[in-house]
Amino acid sequence: MTGIKVKDCPECGLLNPETLLLQEECIHCGADMSLPPLRKGILDSQGKNQWEFIQALRASNGEKWYQENKQRLRSRFLGMNI
């Protein structure tokens, strides 16, 4: 008997079966599965983690802006201690 292979969503953290990853989007939140994962344990000066910070920007700037900038937003935080 073999188990189902899964992958954590880089945004919501929920599991996605690998067989569905051909869709390239999380089945839960629609996030791009090829993006690097968000760091949820490190807080910024306002007490928000990276996921909360990006979601606040997404809400204030709109979905089109988020889709155009989602990779840059993650890259920005990779080398920083927020």
For the chain, domain boundaries = 1-35, 37-82
Q: What's the whole-model pTM score? A: 0.53
The distance from CA 62 to its chain's CA centroid, rounded to whole angstroms, is 16
2 three-state secondary structure? coil
Give the model confidence (pLDDT) of 18-75 as tens digits: 765 456 788 888 777 777 776 666 677 777 777 788 888 889 999 889 888 887 877 6
Non-local CB neighbours of 27 within 8 Å, separated by 6+ positions: 16, 20
Better-predicted residue by pLDDT, 76 or 73:
73
Dihedral through CA 16, CA 25, CA 13, CA 40, nearest 10? Answer: 160
